[in-house]
């Protein structure tokens, strides 16, 4: 996978407001926030998009969801939305798997 904005954040080549990190995941605030609370959960393993994940990534994918929940709680969120865009047609602009966690305001359905 080619270097992306997110891989550069992982390597600390680009600054970010990092709010959580462990051996497998990094969480930082979205610079284009769409809600009062908006952060991204990314794997440190380079996976371009969800459809590129394999069975060997099962534990990592579950870990990312647990991290999203943990950081949401740390941010004071009880209600929040998770969003994963898969491919350009779904509005994915950075091709490094990431989970948007949004909260702090009501959301409608269907989205976008």
CB of 2 closer than 8 Å to CB of 71: no
> How many CA atoms lie within 13 Å of 62's alpha carbon, on the beta-carbon side?
5
Region of residue 91 (phi > 0: left; psi between -120 and 50: alpha; otherwise: beta): left
In a domain, 36, yes or no: yes
Average pLDDT, the chain: 96
Q: Which domain holds residue 74?
A: 5-103
Cis amide leading into 8 (omega within 30)? no
pTM for this model (two decimals): 0.95
pLDDT at 1 over 90: no
Residue 112 has pLDDT above 70, yes or no: no
CATH code of residue 89? 3.30.428.10
pLDDT, tens digit (0-9, with 9 covering 90-100), for 40-94: 999 999 999 999 999 999 999 999 999 999 999 999 999 999 999 999 999 999 9
Could you tell me the maximum CA-CA distance found in the chain, to the nearest angstrom?
A: 37
Structural domain total, the chain: 1
Which residue numbers are catalytic?
98
pLDDT score of 2 more than 80: no
* 53/72 Cα distance (integer angstroms): 24
């Amino acid at each position: 996978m080619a270097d992306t904005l997110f891989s550069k954040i992982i390597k600390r080549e680009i600054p970010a407001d990092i709010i959580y990190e462990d051996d497998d995941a990094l969480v930082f605030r979205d610079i284009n926030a769409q809600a009062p609370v908006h952060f991204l959960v990314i794997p440190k393993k380079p996976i371009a998009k969800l459809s590129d994940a394999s069975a060997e990534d099962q534990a990592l994918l579950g870990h990312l969801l647990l991290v999203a929940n943990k950081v949401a709680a740390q941010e004071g969120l009880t209600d929040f939305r998770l969003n994963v865009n898969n491919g350009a047609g779904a509005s994915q602009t950075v091709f490094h798997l990431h989970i948007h966690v949004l909260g702090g305001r009501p959301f409608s359905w269907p989205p976008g």
